[in-house]
Structure 1
Amino acid sequence: MKRRKFLLATAITLPTIGFAQALPEAQERSKKGFVVKANASRFNETTKLGGKSPNDIKVSAKDTNQNLAIFEYVGNEKGGPPLHVHLKQDEVFYIVEGEYLFQVGDEQFNLKAGDTIFLPRNVPHTFAQLTEKGKMFFLFQPAGKMEDFFRANAALSGPPSPEQGAKLFADHEMKVLGPPLKF
């Protein structure tokens, strides 16, 4: 009878031990909050997309053990990125100012100030700013390589060729699938 209980306990316990070993190791996290002021970024760096539109890190992957990154984008021109897919991140956008057209899969959505949209990973998407000025907060979960993507994009001296753009996206766990939205 003791042997049967031992075997039963072992059979029940082994999957739990295996599951616990598969969990990521707990990371030491800061116990202090922080403030990032208006018109500033987390590390006081300037990242302008297209040389015109600030894209500031507000919460860094470094702050969250790669679990989350939050950005504030101030759009100073119409348009947006090519149709693409994130292989490892979900994305959320909150519109503060202006009007945007989003495509998620086969659906299109018009968003204005106060609207929020969720874009699941592995679903093709893009957006276009429809107004001369726009502002939005957006986040990636997990953070992935998105901070480095925006830094590399901002370092370009001009718009990348389609081949350069595809490589830039691929180097940061994304894939370009088509052109930007026409509006």
Structure 2
Amino acid sequence: MSSTSFVLKPNDRSPPLNVVGIRINVLVSDTDSQSQRITLQTGEEGVGPPPHCHDWDESFYVIRGQLVFTCAGQTSVCEAGTLVHVPAGTVHAFSFGPGGGEMLEVTGAGSRAIEMFRALDREIPPGPVDVEKTIQVANGYGLISRR
């Protein structure tokens, strides 16, 4: 598959995914581009994944609100306009700050993030999170939990 240019208007997007309380809109998927994947993620205060790592690079750009990122043991409070880059294999976590927030996530070639998000949306129902099942599903897509 070769990448081609495209325009994605708001009505062209698939419905957002619900991944353990984070609303994820897929903007560029594995079927759109070989080199990158882009999602728009929105969450309420306190929502976010536990410490984990995977074998793809990941960058986040905070659009609205505040996010607390922990990367390689260092925690930073990130306001709108902040870019966070996480190299492959780096243990990281984040949570949305007071009032919630919104960010773009960009992953590079080899990322299985969107496939994992789709599986989590499909297999983990809304409500209290079944942590063990969530970890089991995510591990199938290359995520390694570091609880």
* TM-score (ref. length: structure 2): 0.87
Name the structure with the higher strand share. 2
Cα distance in 1, alignment partners of residues 146 and 136 from structure 2:
12
- Is 2:51 the partner of 1:78? no
Paired residue secondary structure (2:16)? coil
Paired residue secondary structure (2:98)? coil
Cα distance in 2, alignment partners of residues 153 and 163 from structure 1:
12
Q: Which has the higher contact order (CA 8 A, sep 6+)?
A: 2
* Unaligned ranges ≥5, structure 2: none
Deviations 1:11-68 (A, max 9, x none): xxxxxxxxxxxxxxxx4332x421232xx663x2331233x54200011121112x21
Structure-2 change in CA distance of 1:102 and 1:143 (3 Å): same
- Is 2:18 the partner of 1:48? yes
* Unaligned ranges ≥5, structure 1: 1-26, 179-183
Q: How does 1:73-152 map to 2 (within 5 A)?
A: 73-86=41-54, 88-152=55-119
Cα distance in 2, alignment partners of residues 165 and 49 from structure 1:
9
2:6 to 15, 28, 33: 33
Paired residue secondary structure (2:77)? strand
Aligned partners of 2:22 and 2:48 also within 8 Å: no
Structure-2 change in CA distance of 1:162 and 1:76 (3 Å): closer
Number of corresponding residues: 145
Structure-2 change in CA distance of 1:163 and 1:58 (3 Å): same
Paired residue secondary structure (1:80)? coil
Structure-2 change in CA distance of 1:119 and 1:146 (3 Å): same
Cα distance in 2, alignment partners of residues 53 and 105 from structure 1:
23
- Counting aligned pairs with the same residue, the percent is 21
Name the structure with the higher helix share. 1
Paired letter, 2:3: R
Paired residue secondary structure (1:63)? coil
Paired residue secondary structure (1:71)? strand
Aligned partners of 1:41 and 1:57 also within 8 Å: no
Which of 1 and 2 has greater Rg? 1
